[in-house]
Chains A and B, each alone.
Chain A
Amino acid sequence: MGTAASPGIAIGKVLILEEENLDYQKKTIEDVEGEKARLHDALESSKEQLQVIKDKVEREMGNDKAEIFQAHLLVLADPELISAVENKIENEKINAEAALDATVEQFATLFANMDNDYMKERASDIRDVGSRILKNLLGIDSVNLAALDDEVVLIADDLTPSDTAQVNKDKVLGFATKIGGRTSHTAIMARSLELPAVVGVSEILDIVENGDQIIVDGVDGNIIINPSDDQLASYNNKAKEYEQRKARLAELKDLAGETKDGHRVELVANIGTPKDVKGALTNGAEGIGLFRSEFLYMDRDSFPTEEEQFEAYKEVAEKMEGPVVIRTLDIGGDKELSYLDLPEEMNPFLGYRAIRICLDRTDIFKTQLRAILRASAYGEVKIMYPMISALEQLRASNEILEEVKVELKSENIDFNENLEVGMMIEIPAAAMIADILAKETDFFSIGTNDLIQYTTATDRMNENISHLYQPFHPALLRLIKRVVEAAHAEGNWAGMCGEMAGDKRLAPYLLGVGLDEFSMSAVSIPEVKDQIRNMTLEEAKEIAQKALTFSTAEEVEAFLSNI
């Protein structure tokens, strides 16, 4: 039916997040004061709704993510906006909806026509606030995810970051969406919220209605609508079993990632913000294998300062009590920053992004490196460069790092002079010269999400060909083996931070070829650890050898799924 995106079973009432219909009729009115009163009522309701959202986001995600809602509140209270709408009502004798819509469009167009990219984006903020006021005028109940009354299962075409930012786990039991795959935003957010989710259910919006009872089976990817008593009983059992299994795996939390014959690997977590550390720790992560630093740069309207970055890195370094690998800025492609003018590209994934931006904008790069180095005085911090495609880039990055170290020393600022500096292997060229690169770096971390895309020339978000995105492709198996061996030849360790590391079916192969560190979504750690603890390194090596004899991804997957 769909793709299992986040494990668990959710049984509850359907709530559909619709694209709302905001059609209204422009009418002539006589009661000007009455119409103005309607406007002010709608403004008041909008203000209350936004206040709830802002408070929640502030509490749960931090002040800087809540800033944009503060700006929205000020737009609502804007004297120029309000007087413009009131004047239209009075002078043109039209209803509040029409007056509001016209005024909002005027302001939005004003911003949309500005030269500055940042200002252009504010047009959509203004329209967003405008829609909210309009909804209140029309009496359309805006589903306020932050303030639901009942427990529900959310159904939508897709969920945006601001939808998921507002989810209250007490009320939202799980998700099902029409589009998306295991690595889409909804899937990743569901896993970090630890809520069951099934994505890519193309017919979902056609077959459910608000209030239907639904079972979302995030373990096997099934959806059942208005289940029979038998089905309910069976799934309640499945849910119980799942919870029990989860509890047993939680017991594994403090056990080591060690095979039966004593071979030890590091099991660590991928995180996006300091708030994710808690989940990492409860799932038994012994460190962080990928700290995605770009969340510090996203959903805000200015660069994060060195201080802000330092505080975030330091917080994680102190809380983890284990290695923390911080990846330098990795944006461009599918992630954009409104305050950094990135060129429009035909092919952003092959374009000006990540380390390429940092080597060009060394001001941005140095600020980040300074912050990371300063944090290294507080814990076992390591640095990792993304998207290296040639030795020259590695050298250039390391040179800039040296400059920053010299600066900090001259300012008498403490940092770990011996901190490990490594790089991601996500571009096939880098994998092919891993032996050369290994000589000038301390470790590799294989970024399989992008490595698969580049190696098989597949865009994972493209529904037409996403089936070609194959983690079990023989090419990937070979590249991984090559990279691990190249690292070991220079006495370096090799890790993996892409989604493949969290797929327990691949654990035997990865163990067998010698992977030293497995970094994944925290919630996947217990299962992978369980798999590792239940085999010997010898068995793993045999499995790896066998896996390499197959010619197609299908064969490899079938083999590894049936061990």
Chain B
Amino acid sequence: MTINIILLKFLNLKYKLFGGIEMVEKKVVIKNETGIHARPASMIVQLANKYGAEVTLGKDGNEVNAKSIMGIMSLGVSKSTEVTVKAEGEDAQDAVNALVELLESGFGE
């Protein structure tokens, strides 16, 4: 038991020391009437591009690069769909927070 805790703490320390290759994930339900069309897709891409992390958007097991407008539009997300925002890399947590906020805000529509 004690050895495990030490191992865990060591791993956490290593994690913190190396700046953390975090993988962060969060699910959001899309609210706006017409789902993710050109304007929201543009907003998502432009926001995702602000972060160094690799960001993906997933639906029903399909994952696309959130920095790719074609990728996002090809996901075909409509109202009431649940999507998964995932990010991996340095600012992953920030990226996910920002994107989730955007998706939950209904893109100002």
Task: State the A residues within 8 Å of B (CB).
Answer: 67-68, 70-71, 74-75, 78-81, 107, 110-111, 114-116, 118-119, 122, 126, 301-303, 305, 339
Contacts and interface: CB of A to CB of B under 8 A. Distances in A.
Interface stretch (B9-17, B20-28, B30-38, B83-91): B30-38
B45 A74 contact: yes
Nearest to A84: B70
B37 A339 contact: yes
Given A79-B65, A80-B70, A305-B109, A118 B37 contact: yes
17 contacts: A67-B38, A67-B42, A70-B42, A71-B39, A71-B42, A78-B68, A78-B70, A79-B65, A80-B64, A81-B68, A81-B70, A114-B74, A115-B76, A118-B34, A301-B39, A302-B39, A339-B37
A54 to B, nearest CB: 12
A72 to B, nearest CB: 9
Given A75-B70, A110-B74, A122-B38, 8 more contacts: A71-B38, A78-B69, A80-B65, A114-B76, A116-B76, A301-B37, A301-B38, A302-B37
A302 B74 contact: no
B78 interface: yes
A67 B39 contact: yes
A119 B73 CA distance: 8
Contacts of A126: 70
Interface in B39-81: 39, 41-42, 45-46, 64-65, 67-71, 73-74, 76, 78
Contacts of B45: 74
B39 to A, nearest CB: 5
A335 B108 CA distance: 27
Q: Looking at A114, A115, A119, A126, which has the most chain B CB atoms within 10 Å of its CB?
A: A119
Q: Which size bracket describes the interface of B in this complex?
A: 20 to 34
Contacts of B71: 78, 80
Contacts of B64: 80
Contacts of A110: 74
A303 B34 contact: yes
A122 B74 CA distance: 10
A67 B107 CA distance: 14
A75 B46 CA distance: 12
Contacts of A114: 74, 76
* Closest 10 A/B residue pairs (Cβ): A74-B69, A80-B68, A71-B38, A301-B37, A302-B34, A301-B38, A78-B68, A78-B70, A339-B34, A80-B71
A122 B73 contact: yes
Given A301-B34, A303-B34, A111 B73 contact: yes
Contacts of B74: 107, 110-111, 114
A107 B76 contact: no
Contacts of A70: 42
Contacts of B68: 78-81
Contacts of A119: 73, 76
Contact of A303 (B33, B46, B70, B76): B33
Contacts of A118: 34, 37
Contacts of A305: 109
A116 B32 CA distance: 16
Nearest to B71: A80
A126 B37 CA distance: 14
Nearest to A118: B37
Contacts of A71: 38-39, 41-42, 69
A454 B67 CA distance: 51
A114 B78 CA distance: 13
A118 B79 CA distance: 14
A75 B37 contact: no
A50 to B, nearest CB: 13
Nearest to A301: B37
Q: Looking at A79, A305, A339, which has the most chain B CB atoms within 10 Å of its CB?
A: A79
A71 B109 CA distance: 17
Q: Looking at A71, A74, A111, which has the most chain B CB atoms within 10 Å of its CB?
A: A74
Contacts of B46: 74
A114 B64 CA distance: 16
A115 B34 CA distance: 14
A298 to B, nearest CB: 14
